[in-house]
């Protein structure tokens, strides 16, 4: 075990035995299960299906698309935790929160904030997301007529589960006490010939690495991925602009802090092939008529070789206060086992918001899968779909009817509509893009708009472009799908990013609004 969880375990026991949670057996089971998996290093397995089967006792054929028990109960758990820390747990030094997206618990100190994760779902308000706090967040209507025997069974179940958690906590604490020396030694050990850097004594990471540059706090993003506080750096200074609103992202905290100046990151990296994502946002300069006074140019090298030259964040984004991302594939550590990233000022100071290093395969960037709206999803192939990002314009909407003709109706459950675009960052190469559509308005509920045809075809028409090249002209979802609420996929191959490393997908209305449900980007390889 690499981490000492004694303090977190003590807080878990306090919460599970509190008046607020002890009488809610399902909430006790869920919180105990997700914390145990987190303590044991199995946070990646915290999926809706596993929680339903292993924590709530649902059968192996449990289908999350048909049964929302986990989403409903986790919503209740978030609210109970918020109530607990506002009442009987108000003086606790440590607090447990569950993110708005995902199920990995976050432990924070009372005077600490980890991104937006300290907020309950009712506190989270973002543009385009008003409709995304849908029925899955609402608590079911309580039943006031439990038979007495049922009440007694629930009470005994809660007590039994709490006793089990206490036993687990006791054994776990004993293990850490008996092995404290080896745990501390392993956590503080440094690789031989490690460069001078601020790594806070952290060992070489395993798997994906995410660093929130300039931040002293961890952050759990909307995809459920944990960003560590700033580390492995030398030089530079921190810049924090918590009030700055950043376009094209719901993950504001990643871009509201930065490292500025001349600096270097020396990141310990196991052998392998990785995708490197560098995140930027111009949070110092403001738009002005005399833009020459606010130009920023700097160079970036990786393992001594040029990566970005004369790079200008506002020019690349384009604009200030806009999330920007550059992606590089086939990244490997240097011979000394580190990835060396050097940021050198040219005109004003270099500026960096975040670093992601993600295991990949040679010659292919990892796929990008985007759902309209703020939900995440594992499809039938166990492929992860992240929440909406990289967009400009449009509105997010939840749909009432499930799309037919697909094994994954969740991919069609929400739409972005209007006049909008996606600026999707990719590494150099050729890509295929699959767009998913379904028509849930025309032919179903028509808003009283006159129909150009008896079958409602022609009611919604729009054009689709990639980097200003037409992909589909006068596209009509209803006509191509053959009817309303029918899943439709359109794949476009051989697409190449622009000079800024983006696939800019533009959805331009011709009649009524453009619409898309989900987007998938696949590297075609060499």
* CA 432 to centroid of chain Cα atoms: 23
> pLDDT digit of tens for each residue in the chain (526 aa)?
334 577 888 888 888 878 788 778 889 889 989 998 888 888 888 999 999 988 888 888 888 888 888 998 999 999 999 999 999 888 888 999 998 888 999 999 876 544 443 333 333 333 333 333 333 322 233 332 333 444 444 444 554 555 555 555 444 444 333 333 332 222 223 333 333 345 444 444 557 999 999 999 888 888 878 899 999 999 999 999 998 999 999 999 999 999 999 999 999 999 999 999 999 999 998 765 445 556 799 999 999 999 999 999 999 998 899 999 999 999 999 999 999 999 999 989 999 999 999 999 999 999 999 999 887 788 888 888 989 999 999 999 887 678 999 999 989 999 999 999 999 999 999 999 999 999 988 876 655 455 566 678 899 999 999 999 999 999 999 999 999 999 999 999 999 999 999 999 999 999 999 999 999 999 998 6
- 212 beta partners: 229, 354
Give me the half-sphere count of Cα atoms (radius 13 Å) on the Cβ side of residue 284.
Answer: 19
Query: Do the beta carbons of residue 374 and residue 250 sit within 8 Å?
Result: yes
Query: Cis link prior to 399 (omega < 30° from 0)?
Result: no
Cβ-in-10-Å burial (0-12, 13-18, 19+) of 196 comes to exposed
Q: Is the dihedral of CA 143, 147, 152, 153 positive or negative?
A: negative
Retrieve residue 510's tokens. 């011709």
| Residue 138 main-chain phi, psi, to 5 deg | -80, 140
The DSSP 8-state label assigned to residue 143 in this structure reads: P
Instruction: Set out the domains of the chain in order of their start, with CATH numbers.
Output: 6-175 (no CATH), 209-359 (2.60.120.430), 368-523 (2.60.120.430)
Retrieve residue 186's tokens. 């392993």
Q: 119-154 burial, b for 16+ CB within 10 Å, e for fewer?
A: bbbeebeeebbeebbbeebeeeeeeeeeeeeeeeee
* CA 316 to centroid of chain Cα atoms: 23
Question: pTM of the predicted model, to two decimals?
Answer: 0.65
Query: Do the beta carbons of residue 493 and residue 319 sit within 8 Å?
Result: no
Give me the half-sphere count of Cα atoms (radius 13 Å) on the Cβ side of residue 18.
Answer: 23
CA distance 53 to 70: 10
Give me the half-sphere count of Cα atoms (radius 13 Å) on the Cβ side of residue 260.
Answer: 18
CA distance 341 to 198: 14
């Amino acid at each position: 075990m690499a981490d000492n969880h004694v303090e977190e375990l003590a807080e878990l026991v306090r919460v599970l035995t509190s008046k607020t949670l002890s009488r809610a057996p399902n909430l006790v089971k869920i919180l105990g299960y997700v914390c145990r998996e987190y303590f044991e290093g199995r946070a990646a397995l915290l999926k809706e299906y596993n929680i339903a089967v292993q924590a709530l006792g649902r059968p192996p054929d449990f289908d999350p698309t048909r049964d929302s028990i986990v989403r409903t109960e986790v919503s209740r758990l978030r609210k109970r935790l918020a109530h607990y820390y506002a009442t009987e747990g108000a003086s606790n030094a440590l607090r447990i929160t569950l993110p708005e997206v995902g199920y990995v618990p976050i432990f924070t100190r009372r005077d600490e904030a980890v991104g937006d994760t300290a907020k309950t779902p009712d506190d989270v308000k973002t543009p385009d997301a008003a409709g995304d706090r849908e029925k899955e967040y609402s608590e079911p209507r309580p039943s006031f007529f439990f038979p007495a025997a049922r009440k007694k069974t629930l009470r005994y179940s809660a007590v039994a589960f709490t006793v089990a958690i206490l036993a687990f906590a006791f054994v776990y604490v004993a293990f850490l006490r008996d092995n404290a020396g080896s745990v501390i030694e392993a956590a503080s050990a440094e690789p031989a010939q490690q460069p001078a850097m601020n790594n806070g004594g952290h060992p070489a990471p395993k798997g994906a690495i995410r660093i929130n540059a300039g931040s002293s706090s961890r952050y759990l993003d909307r995809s459920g991925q944990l960003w560590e506080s700033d580390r492995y750096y030398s030089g530079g200074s921190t810049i924090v602009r918590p009030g700055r609103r950043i376009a094209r992202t719901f993950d504001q905290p990643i871009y509201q802090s930065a490292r500025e100046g001349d600096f270097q990151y020396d990141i310990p990296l196991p052998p392998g092939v990785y995708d490197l994502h560098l995140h930027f946002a111009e949070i110092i300069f403001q738009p002005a008529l005399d833009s020459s006074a606010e130009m920023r140019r700097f160079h970036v090298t990786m393992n001594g070789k040029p990566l970005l030259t004369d790079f200008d964040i506002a020019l690349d984004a384009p604009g200030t206060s806009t999330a920007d991302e550059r992606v590089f594939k086939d990244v490997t550590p240097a011979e000394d086992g580190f990835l060396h990233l050097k940021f050198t000022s040219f005109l004003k100071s270099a500026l960096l918001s975040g670093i992601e290093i993600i295991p990949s395969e040679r010659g292919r960037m990892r796929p990008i899968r985007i759902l309209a709206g703020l939900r995440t999803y594992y499809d039938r192939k166990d492929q992860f779909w992240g929440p909406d990002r990289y967009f400009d314009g449009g509105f997010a909407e939840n749909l009432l009817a499930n799309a037919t003709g697909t094994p994954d109706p969740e991919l069609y459950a929400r739409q972005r509509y209007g006049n909008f675009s996606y600026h999707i960052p990719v590494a150099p190469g050729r890509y295929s893009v699959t767009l998913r559509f379904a028509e849930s308005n025309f032919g179903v509920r028509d808003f009283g708009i006159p129909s150009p045809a008896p079958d409602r075809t022609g009611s919604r028409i729009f054009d689709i472009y990639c980097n200003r090249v037409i992909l589909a002209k006068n596209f009509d979802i209803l006509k191509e799908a053959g009817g309303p609420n029918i899943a439709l996929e359109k794949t476009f191959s051989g697409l190449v990013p622009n000079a800024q490393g983006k696939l800019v997908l533009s959805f331009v209305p011709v009649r009524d609004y453009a619409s898309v449900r989900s987007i998938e980007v696949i590297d075609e390889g060499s």
